[in-house]
A = this chain, B = another copy of it.
């Protein structure tokens, strides 16, 4: 499902690809291999595969706010790729193990006071995450069980379906403009594909974080469900989508999303350079530092 031209996240031959399928022992204890429910936990994401339904769950468990650090993104891509190549897996649910937060978005510490090389590596991982998730052959469902600003919102927008907890305290949106930064064009393209041009234009300019009811109304999420029913609902949605023949569904999904995927693939290096030169500006660095100070004080 990965579009042509997408570079592998790691330079070494992928340990989680076709090879992995042949020797799963590299990835998990052999005694779990035949169990109906397999789990492999890494540092940041707990992955469970229910072999009877063919549905995996990726649970973000990187407190305090599931921020998307380079380590998180790398683990996300590896886990997703593993599932993508696992014939037993046809669908993935993304959700959070941290109360009240789905994901807070890109980790600001990765963008502050680091080297140009680091910025490049980090941004390539952000791109890779989106390219793999948005083009996944699996059915992808986001169970947004907490707030989900910026990059967290992008993860949800990249799925096939979004269920959000019916809690007006939780909000979601591409609020980059609030921090003085600009959502990249492929964040914008993904957003426009979900909510249309007008709503995207207004929401992006205002950097809006939409409370759950408003997010439902303007189409950022597909439905709201009481928190205790999220899992049940996700299973039902998954069953509906998995009732379709994989091949036709996958080709249809690709037809809908390819133009937007192709655009990043065609401009990937340029997009990295843009990010580096933007993030390296002293004014931006200053504004991010101020923001981090504020977050620290809040916690303290």
Main secondary structure on A side of the interface with B:
helix
Q: What is the distance, in angstroms, from A162's C-beta to the closest C-beta of chain B?
A: 10
Are A248 and B188 touching (Cβ within 8 A)? no
Pick from A4-12, A97-105, A174-182 the stretch touching chain B: A174-182
Number of interface residues of A (CB under 8 A): 42
Specify which of B182, B197, B249 is in contact with A205 (CB 8 Å cutoff): B249
Which residues of A, 160-197, contact B by the 8 Å Cβ criterion?
160-161, 176-183, 185, 188, 192-197
Are A198 and B206 touching (Cβ within 8 A)? no
- The reply on A300 being an interface residue by CB < 8 A is no
Which residue on chain B has the smallest CB distance to residue A254?
A: B182
Q: Which residues of B lie under 8 Å from residue A222 when comparing CB positions?
A: 202
- Number of chain copies forming the complex: 3
Are A244 and B201 touching (Cβ within 8 A)? no
CB 8 Å contact bits of A5-24 with B (1 = contact, 0 = none): 00000000000000000000
Q: Which residues of B lie under 8 Å from residue A197 when comparing CB positions?
A: 192-194, 196, 256
Q: What is the distance, in angstroms, from A114's C-beta to the closest C-beta of chain B?
A: 21
Are B198 and A248 touching (Cβ within 8 A)? no
A→B interface (CB under 8 Å): 160-161, 176-183, 185, 188, 192-198, 200-202, 204-207, 219, 222, 240-241, 244-245, 247-249, 251-253, 255-257, 287
